[in-house]
Amino acid sequence: MGKNKKKQDKGPAPRELATPISATPTMIPSAAEADVPESGAALEAAPSSGSTSPVATESPPWSPALPPPPKKGRLQRLIPDLIKVAAAFAVIFIAGAIWYKPPLILASRPYVSYTFGGQEATDAKLYRPLAMPTRYYIELPRQLANRYTWFAVDRRREVAALSEEPRHLFLGKKAIKRSDPLGLDLEFRKLDHSEWQVHFFDDAIVFSNDVLTVRLDIKSDNVNSGK
């Protein structure tokens, strides 16, 4: 009797749980950790969605930077301007020198001829001073009558004169000074027992005495003399 009472006191044995409990505990991921696989999945899914993603390009190999050009000094910057100023002064100086002492330029016009001892000759030389268009100088090939070699003619003043050989030089050429006298005016001048006659025509200049006659034909030149 006593044994049965004890058994009844124990009561029914507890039933086993329907689902077994895992021996290893499961950890619930945090919100930050849960987002990681989703973002990774999004990155993996991006290429398959058809959208273009920027492609990383290789950077060019590193090259050292070129050194900056040296700065020009103040004198070097002024050299071109100084050259221009020097050239302008040189032109002004040469122009002033030519105006003050014009060189004689051999010319072919007008046509020059002279008559001496009844014979006409055309071997005289005609010069024109540079920058003096109305002035002529005539050089005979030799001295005639122990007196006549150089003549000067000024068309503007209508003067023909017995002149001396130019004594000045300009760059190796014969030259005159603008302030020098023209020479001995021949008009009505009595030389070699005869009086000089000077005539300025539209197409010619003629001055003569009983010994020598000099003629300048304005419309002809020494190259095409019409002989």
Residue 181 in any domain: the answer is yes
Report yes or no: 186 and 198 within 8 Å, Cβ to Cβ.
Answer: yes
Domain that holds residue 193: 104-217
Residue 226 in any domain: the answer is no
Report yes or no: 149 and 143 within 8 Å, Cβ to Cβ.
Answer: yes
Residue 194 in any domain: the answer is yes
Domain tally, the chain: 1
Strands (E), the chain: 104-107, 111-116, 119-121, 125-129, 135-144, 148-154, 159-163, 168-170, 173-175, 184-185, 190-191, 194-195, 197-200, 204-208, 212-217
Q: What is the pLDDT of residues 172-183, one digit of tens each?
A: 889 999 889 999
Residue type, 207: F
Q: What is the pLDDT of residues 80-122, one digit of tens each?
A: 888 999 999 999 988 888 899 999 999 988 999 999 989 999 9
Residue 37 in any domain: the answer is no
Q: What is the pLDDT of residues 21-80, one digit of tens each?
A: 444 445 555 444 444 444 444 444 444 444 455 555 555 555 556 666 666 677 777 888
- pTM of the predicted protein model: 0.61
Residue 129 in any domain: the answer is yes
Q: How far is CA 37 from the centre of its chain?
A: 75
Residue 209 in any domain: the answer is yes
Per-residue confidence (pLDDT) for residue 188, from 0 to 100: 85
Residue 84 in any domain: the answer is no
Residue 64 in any domain: the answer is no
- Euclidean distance between CA atoms 43 and 52, whole angstroms: 12
